[in-house]
Amino acid sequence: MKQLILAIVISFIITIIIGPIIIPILQKLKFGQSIREEGPKSHIKKSGTPTMGGIIIISAVFIASIIFALGNSDLMIAMLVTLGFGIIGLVDDFIKVVLKRNLGLKPYQKLIGQFIIAIIIAIYAANHPYIGTSLLIPFTNEYIDLGMLYIPLTIFAVVGTANSVNLTDGLDGLASGVTLIVSSFFALVSLGLGYYGLSIFAGTIVGACLGFLKFNYYPARVFMGDTGSMALGGAVASLAVLTRMQLFLPIIGGVYVIEAVSVILQVLSFKLTGKRIFKMSPLHHHFELKGWHETKVVIVFWMIALILAIISMLALSIY
């Protein structure tokens, strides 16, 4: 527990220290966010706010993790997965912001990179002597061995989680706040299950998200961009995989799931019927267009994430 607290504190302090250093650099380089014309009108004033702030999160997690990483392969693989997804997001942001191509990487290019990373961690976990192909079933003490189905399911979970977190990052403090709650859950659960290295890694995510909120909460001084949201998605996914808790992702990551499903339903509905289910997707924009202030949407989603975290704790028998 002492190391977990220390990991949180170190990551938090690093974020608080480097944030005021990196943000002016992003401003000077004119790495400003472009706002979609079809988006909520209230977001127009955010145009030009520095993006790619995920560099702050990744730096804090990387430095804090390195301090505790010696001799812990699980922590190292989680960190590398996070870094890998962060690099995909960084390239995407660079193309959007610097090369002025608003769509960034093409979908198939993103997916190729994501699938490569997902395959690596799936194979690593499947061949790990203390992980293997068994998954913990929520609300039971039982594990289910998926055998040959393990790798495709894990790949789907990793890629799906990364993209869902990416979709959630649309309001000031939304993705960072929700992920703070999700990573806190994994920090405590990993500790209870005996995955001490992963508990420390989750702690670095907690500290980084908490520190980043100082700069990212409304009105945001910096956005994490795909650099941050993809990295956080990779971090959450790796924690689930390495603790054998992929089946918990729809519960603890319920906010991410709802956001992703809202996009899927919106697209399907429009293509099949020509009508939209929501005023705009992802779901957080729907509530904005219904008249909710941005901070109200964020706080409500945080509360939902907290409730889901409590439910997820109840789904375990270790507490």
Give pLDDT tens digits for 24-36: 999 988 887 666 5
Mean per-residue pLDDT, 99-114: 87
Domain extent, residue 230, equals 2-247
User: Can you give the pLDDT at residue 235?
Assistant: 98
**Per-residue pLDDT, 141:** 84
**Partner residues linked to 143 by β-bridges:** 136
Domain assignment present for residue 312? The answer is no
Question: Which pLDDT does position 29 carry in this prediction?
Answer: 86
Our count of domains for the chain comes to: 1
The mean pLDDT value for 125-146 works out to 94
pLDDT for the residue 38: 58
Average pLDDT over residues 187-201: 94
Question: CA 245 to CA 190: how far, in whole Å?
Answer: 10
Label residues 291-303 b or e (16+ Cβ within 10 Å = b).
eeebeebbeebbe
- 144 phi, psi to nearest 5 deg: -115, 130
Residues with Cβ within 8 Å of 8's Cβ and at least 6 positions away in sequence, in order, are 187, 203, 204, 206, 207, 210
pLDDT value for 203: 97
pLDDT in tens, 142-192: 999 999 999 999 999 999 999 999 999 999 999 999 999 999 999 999 999
Does 260 map to a domain?
A: no
Tally the residues of the chain.
319
Q: What pLDDT score was predicted for residue 167?
A: 96
Nearest to 91 by CA among 118, 114, 57: 114
Helix axes 174-193, 2-28, angle to 10 degrees: 160
Residue 319 is predicted with a pLDDT of 47
Kindly tell me if the per-residue pLDDT of 45 is higher than 80. Answer: no
Asked if residue 146 belongs to a domain, the reply is yes
**Per-residue confidence band for 37, with pLDDT thresholds at 50, 70 and 90:** low
Q: What are the binding residues?
A: 166, 226
pLDDT of amino acid 82: 97
Share of the chain above pLDDT 70, in %: 94
Q: H or E stretch including 144?
A: strand 143-145
Residue 226 located in a structural domain:
yes
Q: Write down the pLDDT at residue 97.
A: 87
The helix, strand and coil proportions of the chain, stated in percent and rounded to the nearest 5, come to 70, 5, 25
Q: pLDDT tens digits for 47-86? A: 779 999 999 999 999 999 998 876 788 999 999 999 999 9
How many other C-beta atoms lie within 10 A of the C-beta of residue 112?
Answer: 12
In a domain, 295, yes or no: no
Read off the pLDDT band of 39 (50, 70, 90): low
The DSSP output letter for 149 is: G
Under 8 Å CB-to-CB from 210, ≥6 apart: which residues? 8, 12, 15, 180
Lowest-confidence range among 38-42, 102-106, 269-273?
A: 38-42
Residue 284 falls inside a structural domain: no
Task: Give residue 48's region: left, alpha or beta (phi > 0; psi -120 to 50).
Answer: left
Residues that constitute the known binding site for Mg(2+): 166, 226
In a domain, residue 303? The reply is no
**Who's near 87: CB < 8 A, 6+ residues apart?**
none
Q: Does residue 279 belong to any structural domain of this protein?
A: no
| CA–CA gap between residue 12 and residue 64 (Å, rounded) | 9
Taking the C-alpha atoms of residue 57 and residue 44, their distance in angstroms, rounded to an integer, is: 25
pLDDT for residue 98: 82
Nearest to 217 by CA among 313, 306, 302: 302
Would you call the peptide bond into 282 cis, given omega within 30 degrees of 0 as the criterion?
Answer: yes
CA distances from 104 to 89, 91, 98 (A): 9, 8, 10
Say if residue 246's pLDDT is above 50.
yes
pTM of the model: 0.94
Q: Determine the pLDDT at residue 171.
A: 95
Quick one: what percent of the chain has pLDDT higher than 90? 82
**Predicted pLDDT of residue 36:** 59
What mean pLDDT value characterizes the chain? 93
d(CA 88, CA 81) in angstroms, rounded, equals 11
